[in-house]
């Protein structure tokens, strides 16, 4: 009896242990599955290969009021190979419904910017967007392409009327279903319009790339432009138009290519009290954040320097020049030639001495530049002995001197440098263009040195520093 009871007890213990173990394994397996992110197939029943959306990005329109690198410095904080799909100008039943069907087949959520007049004409199309879970923004009342020129009051009316029309189409839950996102028609931006939108808590959307699907081009061209421009930037906001038949034809191929090349679709929604914004860093709102591995392309700004503890010049005013009768204090001939060339006599300034005001009488002053700013290095003047000792120079130096000499100005040297003299009208004068003989060069240099005037002779192979203006003469 004891043996049989013991065997039954062991059997019951093993059975209970096996049941507990199975329960633990089941809970662990379910927990592991729950910890994994949901796949596109799970979110898109019946479409196991659907592209789906990789994540939902929650943004606060009041923190980042303008996005899209086509016009602004910031864009959405996307990761590499993430794309946000946006559609403008709807709803238009035939084409817009096909776009909705294509997006539904891939379980993709996009952002639609609706026109007020279209929403009033086809309110059911706006409600379809809401029921499918897409983000709904606005695009003015009548889609004017002059938002950058019209008075701000008219622009405000376009914005407000468009919002009111879309809300009317949505019905009772309009405040919850309509996102504070706005796109200016034709991207015709104006600062006053953007400022008004920001004051209303509305985020202005531009784009990062277009597909030009509003133009009269083929659907193949729409596809090519979309893929090429997405690949060029690697991530960003794509602008399309759901009212265009060419967009309907190109959209399936665009989505298929994005999926094949490893891109992910992100849905953007506004932050609410119950749904806080996705945590981000400021650099994430830049398309290409700065990196230590990339050189900065802009030089730093030069700071404004303040001159301290220096002499200042008085800043005169017009009244300082007035005489007793209101006339300016000027001499009859301030630049008299005779008085200017008198030697041994101090030259009198052509303005009255009263102009030199004390610093204390001026409200502000100008810094006095240092004397060294105007100093130039002096070159030694050649003497007669130096000129007489000059030998023939090499032709390459003469050719260089001739090329660097402006027309009408002739370098005077002690070597074989050609003396090309030009007439009054720039033409070669007869008899010139010849090389000076050695004796003429010597006599000319001696005469210059004897007169005490600065010499213009190339000495010891030094480069020419002075030029002499040669007058026209006969030979």
Three-state SS string across 353-383, please? HHHCCCHHHCCCEEECCCHHHHCCCCCCCCC
Nearest to 184 by CA among 135, 96, 113, 268: 113
Whether the full predicted model's pTM is greater than 0.75, yes or no, is no
User: Is residue 400 situated within a structural domain?
Assistant: yes
**468 and 417 in one domain?**
yes
User: Final residue of a domain: which of 285, 304, 335?
Assistant: 285
Nearest to 194 by CA among 243, 248, 156: 156
When pLDDT is averaged across residues 286-308 and rounded to a whole number, the result is 64
How sure is the predictor about 347, in pLDDT bands with cuts at 50, 70 and 90? low
Residue showing tokens 């709102």: 285
Query: What is the pLDDT, as a whole number, of residue 322?
Result: 58
User: Is residue 444 situated within a structural domain?
Assistant: yes
Of 155-159, 231-235, 426-430, the least confident: 426-430
Report how far residue 455's alpha carbon sits from residue 382's, in angstroms, rounded to the nearest whole number: 6
**390 and 364 in one domain?**
no
DSSP for 25-92, please give it.
HHHHHHHHHHHSPPPHHHHSTT-TT---EEEEEEE-TTT--EE-TTTSS----PPTTEEEEEEES---
Query: What is the pLDDT, as a whole number, of residue 457?
Result: 45
**362 and 437 in one domain?**
no
Of 22-26, 53-57, 245-249, 294-298, the least confident: 22-26
Query: What is the pLDDT, as a whole number, of residue 369?
Result: 72
Of 40-49, 233-242, 260-269, 278-287, the least confident: 40-49
Query: What is the pLDDT, as a whole number, of residue 342?
Result: 52
The more confident residue out of 217 and 421 is: 217
Highest mean pLDDT among 37-46, 202-211, 344-353, 389-398: 202-211
Query: What is the pLDDT, as a whole number, of residue 306?
Result: 58
**How does the average pLDDT of the chain come out, rounded?**
75
**244 and 174 in one domain?**
yes
Range of the domain at 161: 43-285
User: Is residue 15 situated within a structural domain?
Assistant: no
**412 and 465 in one domain?**
yes
Of 4-18, 81-95, 319-333, 355-369, the least confident: 4-18
Nearest to 250 by CA among 87, 111, 46, 78: 87
User: Is residue 30 situated within a structural domain?
Assistant: no
Report how far residue 435's alpha carbon sits from residue 429's, in angstroms, rounded to the nearest whole number: 14
3-state secondary structure of 208: coil
Q: What is the CATH number of the domain that holds 145?
A: 3.20.20.370
**227 and 166 in one domain?**
yes
> Rounded to the nearest 10 degrees, what angle do helices 152-170 and 123-132 cross at?
70
**180 and 87 in one domain?**
yes
Query: What is the pLDDT, as a whole number, of residue 49?
Result: 87
How sure is the predictor about 82, in pLDDT bands with cuts at 50, 70 and 90? very high
**136 and 281 in one domain?**
yes
For the cut 50, the answer to whether the pLDDT of residue 6 exceeds it is: no
Query: What is the pLDDT, as a whole number, of residue 163?
Result: 98
How sure is the predictor about 293, in pLDDT bands with cuts at 50, 70 and 90? low
User: Is residue 301 situated within a structural domain?
Assistant: no
Query: What is the pLDDT, as a whole number, of residue 73?
Result: 95
When pLDDT is averaged across residues 345-360 and rounded to a whole number, the result is 50
User: Final residue of a domain: which of 235, 266, 285?
Assistant: 285
CA atoms within 13 A on the CB side of 409: 11
When pLDDT is averaged across residues 102-125 and rounded to a whole number, the result is 97
For the cut 80, the answer to whether the pLDDT of residue 13 exceeds it is: no
Cα–Cα distances (Å) from 325 to 311, 321, 322, 329, in that order, read 34, 11, 8, 10
Query: What is the pLDDT, as a whole number, of residue 354?
Result: 47
User: Is residue 248 situated within a structural domain?
Assistant: yes
User: Six-digit token pair at 282?
Assistant: 């400021």
When pLDDT is averaged across residues 438-466 and rounded to a whole number, the result is 50
Whether residue 91 is preceded by a cis peptide bond, meaning omega within 30 degrees of 0, is yes
For the cut 50, the answer to whether the pLDDT of residue 99 exceeds it is: yes
How sure is the predictor about 250, in pLDDT bands with cuts at 50, 70 and 90? very high
User: Six-digit token pair at 13?
Assistant: 């213990």
How sure is the predictor about 298, in pLDDT bands with cuts at 50, 70 and 90? low
Report how far residue 405's alpha carbon sits from residue 402's, in angstroms, rounded to the nearest whole number: 5
Question: Which burial class, exposed, middle or buried, applies to 83 when counting CB atoms under 10 A from its CB (0-12, 13-18, 19+)?
Answer: buried
**280 and 340 in one domain?**
no
Report how far residue 179's alpha carbon sits from residue 114's, in angstroms, rounded to the nearest whole number: 11
User: Six-digit token pair at 137?
Assistant: 């923004």
The total number of structural domains that make up the chain: 3
Of 129-143, 369-383, 385-399, the least confident: 385-399
For the cut 90, the answer to whether the pLDDT of residue 195 exceeds it is: yes
Query: What is the pLDDT, as a whole number, of residue 60?
Result: 97
How sure is the predictor about 283, in pLDDT bands with cuts at 50, 70 and 90? very high
For the cut 50, the answer to whether the pLDDT of residue 445 exceeds it is: yes
Query: What is the pLDDT, as a whole number, of residue 48?
Result: 82
User: Six-digit token pair at 127?
Assistant: 């409600």
When pLDDT is averaged across residues 317-333 and rounded to a whole number, the result is 57
Cβ 89 vs Cβ 141: under 8 Å: no
User: Is residue 317 situated within a structural domain?
Assistant: yes
**316 and 430 in one domain?**
no
Query: What is the pLDDT, as a whole number, of residue 304?
Result: 62
**424 and 278 in one domain?**
no
**271 and 178 in one domain?**
yes
How sure is the predictor about 444, in pLDDT bands with cuts at 50, 70 and 90? low
């Amino acid at each position: 009896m004891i043996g049989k009871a013991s065997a039954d007890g062991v059997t019951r213990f093993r059975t209970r242990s096996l049941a507990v173990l199975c329960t633990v394994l089941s809970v662990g397996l379910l927990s592991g599955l729950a910890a994994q992110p949901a796949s596109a197939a799970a979110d898109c029943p019946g479409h196991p290969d659907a592209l789906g959306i990789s994540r939902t990005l929650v943004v606060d329109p009041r923190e980042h009021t303008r996005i899209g690198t086509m016009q602004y410095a910031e864009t959405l904080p996307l990761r590499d190979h993430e794309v946000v799909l946006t559609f403008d100008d709807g709803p238009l039943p035939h084409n817009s419904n096909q776009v909705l069907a294509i997006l539904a087949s891939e379980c993709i959520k996009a952002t639609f910017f609706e026109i007020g007049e279209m929403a009033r004409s086809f309110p059911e199309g706006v409600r379809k967007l809401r029921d499918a879970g897409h983000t709904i923004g606005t695009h003015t009342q009548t889609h004017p392409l002059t938002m950058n020129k019209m008075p701000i009051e008219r622009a405000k009316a376009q914005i407000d009327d468009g919002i009111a029309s879309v809300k009317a189409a949505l019905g009772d839950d309009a405040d919850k279903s309509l996102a504070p996102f706005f796109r200016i028609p034709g991207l015709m931006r104006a600062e006053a319009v953007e400022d008004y939108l920001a004051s209303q808590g509305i985020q202005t959307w531009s784009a990062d790339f277009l597909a030009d699907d509003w133009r009269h081009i083929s659907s193949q061209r729409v596809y090519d432009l979309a893929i090429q421009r997405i690949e060029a930037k690697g991530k960003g906001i794509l602008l399309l138009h759901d009212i265009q038949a060419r967009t309907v034809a190109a959209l399936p191929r665009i989505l298929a290519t994005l999926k094949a090349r490893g891109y992910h679709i992100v849905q953007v929604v506004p932050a609410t009290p119950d749904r806080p914004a996705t945590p981000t860093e400021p650099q994430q709102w830049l398309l290409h954040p700065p990196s230590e591995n990339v050189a900065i392309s802009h030089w730093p700004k030069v700071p404004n320097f303040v001159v301290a503890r220096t002499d200042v010049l008085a800043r005169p005013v017009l009244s300082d020049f007035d005489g007793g009768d209101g006339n300016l204090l000027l001499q009859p001939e301030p630049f008299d030639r005779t008085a200017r060339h008198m030697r041994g006599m101090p030259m009198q300034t052509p303005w009255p001495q009263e102009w030199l005001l004390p610093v204390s009488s001026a409200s502000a002053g100008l810094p006095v530049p240092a004397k060294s700013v105007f100093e130039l290095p002096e070159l030694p003047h050649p003497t007669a002995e130096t000129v007489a000792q000059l030998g023939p120079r090499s032709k390459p130096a003469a050719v260089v001197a001739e090329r660097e000499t402006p027309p009408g100005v002739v370098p005077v040297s002690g070597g074989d440098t050609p003396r090309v003299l030009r007439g009054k009208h720039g033409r070669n004068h007869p008899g010139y263009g010849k090389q000076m003989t050695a004796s003429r060069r010597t006599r000319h240099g001696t005469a210059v040195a004897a007169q005490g005037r600065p010499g213009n002779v190339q000495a010891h192979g030094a480069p020419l520093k002075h030029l002499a203006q040669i007058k026209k003469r006969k030979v």
